[in-house]
Amino acid sequence: MDRNFILGMSMAAACLLASGISPAQTPLEKGLKSGDSAGAIAGAGLLESAATPPDTSDPVPGSTVALTGTSRDSDSRKEKEEKEAVGGVNHTLVPRLMSYMEFGVEWVLWLLFALGLGVIGLLVERAVYFDRFGGKVEETRASLVRFLSEGRMQDACQHFKQEKTIPAQVLAEALHKRQLAPEAVQELIEARLIEERHNLERGLNYLGTVGANAPFIGLFGTVLGIIKAFHDLSIAEQAGPSVVMAGISEALVATAIGLLVAIPAVIIFNAFKARTRTVISNTESLCKLFLSKQLDLVFNPANSSSKRGSGKEADNG
């Protein structure tokens, strides 16, 4: 054997020992036994290729990263679908609500202005109503006392029917039903007072509602304005604190307008409530004066006849 053959066999034996493969299982043994140097060298090449680890490098640069990113996107999409399937938070809700808030504070201000106009209109209407139908109680009381002292019930009924005030109208109805028992007249008066109270308090619920809720409407507008200001700041490329300050100052106007509408509404509501109580109490006082006269006529008919006679004499005179 020549020197090249011996060198090939040495290299093959070293490869066999390094890879841990039994020589009986490889073509190297056949080459050594037959003395074929080419076969031994081929067997050594096969052993070397077997012992060499496979090349796991990426044949196309960036393909592994692309595949990894695609798999991550698919995983995140699946997780999102699973969250929505089990009732998770839908992240498209907030942008949708933000699109509705783009109107800002302006529509809240228009709403407050409309409520304020309603308060002013109701103030004028109620003031005219109370001035027309509230009546001057002192004049009505003086007329009633004069008619009762003279025993002129029919004249009193005709006199109070001509007046349009609430006390006079209630008295006219009580005088018209004076033939009934005093208890029945009392029930009639109470029923009429309930009806008149309803007329006197018409529109006051609106004043109370505006007075209680206008500040909250203005506060709602302020919150919307602040949200819009910060949203504009987030999308502005070159913006400073002045952008936020301008939006917040505009938003605070809504709170001021809300208070400006609410405070007069509450004052007007309390004023008309007090006026309603005054008219009802004065009417009740006049009706009780008439009922006391009716009771006196029931229990002392002699006084009644004497007053009627004096009244006729006065008419004849």
For residue range 111-143, what is the model confidence (pLDDT) as tens digits? Answer: 999 999 999 999 999 999 999 988 788 888 888
The 8-class DSSP code of residue 249 comes to H
* Residue 237, pLDDT above cutoff 70: no
Q: What is the pLDDT of residue 246?
A: 74
* Structural contact between residues 247 and 227, judged by C-beta atoms closer than 8 angstroms: no
Lowest model confidence (mean pLDDT) among 50-64, 200-214, 253-267 = 50-64
Total-model pTM:
0.62
3-class SS at 92?
coil
If you average pLDDT over residues 304-315, what whole number do you get?
A: 46
Q: What is the pLDDT of residue 72?
A: 57
Q: Compute the average pLDDT of residues 45-72.
A: 48
Better-predicted residue by pLDDT, 97 or 115: 115
**Buried residues in 285-299 as b, exposed as e (16+ CB within 10 A):** ebbeebbebbeebee
In this prediction, residue 315 carries a pLDDT of: 44
Confidence (pLDDT) at 20: 52
| For residue 277, pLDDT beyond 90 | yes
Q: Rounded to an integer, what distance in angstroms lies between the CA atom of residue 76 and that of residue 70?
A: 10
In terms of C-beta density within 10 A (0-12 exposed, 13-18 middle, 19 or more buried), how is residue 171 classed? Answer: buried
45 vs 141: CA distance, rounded Å: 135
